[in-house]
Amino acid sequence: MLGDQIRKLRTARQMTQVQLARKLGVSKQTVSNWENDNIPPSVEMLRRLATTLACSSDYLLELDICRSIMDISGLTIDQIAHIQQIIDDFNMLNKLLEESHT
């Protein structure tokens, strides 16, 4: 759900609801309502959320589940490749650990 995505991204960035609300120019209650799926953000606010949380609106709407929550803007292609290799190594390690427990 959208609210879960907003909460996950906000907490991953160690932001409080108040901090996110201030960045977006809304009340803490508004952020709380979004995260609890009481009310959806407007299309404009969805765009602002995506920009503020460094993700795509598709990711927020769970249309792009493969999108990373890491902001890689400003990194070189080589730096991104190194990060991808670390991720691949962790995925392989997790797979090996899963296989050893079965």
User: What is the predicted pLDDT for the residue at 76?
Assistant: 84
**In the numeric block, which tokens belong to residue 32?**
């709380």
For 14-67, write each residue's pLDDT tens digit: 899 999 999 999 999 999 999 999 999 999 999 999 999 888 888 888 886 555
User: What is the predicted pLDDT for the residue at 68?
Assistant: 52
User: What is the predicted pLDDT for the residue at 3?
Assistant: 94
The structural domains of the chain, with segments of one domain joined by +, span 2-60, 73-102
Name the packing angle between helices 2-12 and 28-35 (round to 10°): 120
CA distance 82 to 88: 10
Instruction: Give me the CATH code for the 2-60 domain, please.
Output: 1.10.260.40
